[in-house]
Amino acid sequence: MSTITPTPRTQVKRLPKRGAYDRETVFGILDEAFVCHVGFVVDGQPYVIPTNFARVNDTLYLHGSAASRMLRTLGEGVAVCVTVSLIDGLVLARSAFHHSVNYRSVVILGTARAVEDPREKMEALRLFTEHIMKGRWAEIRWPNELELKGTAVLAVPLEEVSAKVRTGGPIDDEEDYALPVWAGVLPIESVTKEPLADARLNPATPVPEYMKSYKR
């Protein structure tokens, strides 16, 4: 199915017209973002941890040190909430109340599965690398057995998930449109700059083509 069926927990209730449940929207946001925030509770204490992630089909992968409390806790089946946000613009209205932000966000609820199969773990690590820089995996040294053992990978199913998106300009109160105040949107986007070579890089090593043409 192209649409993810919303549940009572993922149905957008505040400004429901901004809710989106189609895979194209949800996956597009996940594939563009670099960082997610992982929320969970341990002994009554809530934590929200920023971390990198990667997606393949209907699965989101998280990874980190095998000693990570977050990964060890989530691997035990603790409920998790993963969020991703992208900011597209500052919405400047004529009144303070109606200022806003154009954004795209995703909320994922569920439980994580510890990835034990070495092949799936290696594939997940490839995905993490390619998510950051497509084409990189083919050039670098892959993780060795010791590094694989020291890395934990979790899989979160994209089953209970929704997106929320705001676009467009400010929506002012009718009487405020006559105010002599500039109103509109200041677009925001991430851009890359010139690559900075490592201090110990062989000067003869060329900048990879995939970096020259990189865009998100």
Domains of the chain: 16-212 (2.30.110.10)
How many other β-carbons are positioned within 10 Å of the β-carbon of residue 70?
Answer: 22
Question: pTM to 2 decimals?
Answer: 0.90
Q: How far is CA 81 from CA 18, 76, 154, 213, in A?
A: 20, 15, 13, 34
Q: What is the pLDDT along the chain (216 residues), one digit of tens a residue?
A: 698 988 999 999 988 999 999 999 999 999 999 999 999 999 899 999 999 999 999 999 999 998 888 999 999 989 999 999 999 999 999 999 999 999 999 999 999 999 999 999 999 999 999 999 999 999 999 999 999 999 999 999 999 999 999 999 999 999 999 999 999 999 999 888 999 999 999 999 999 999 988 887
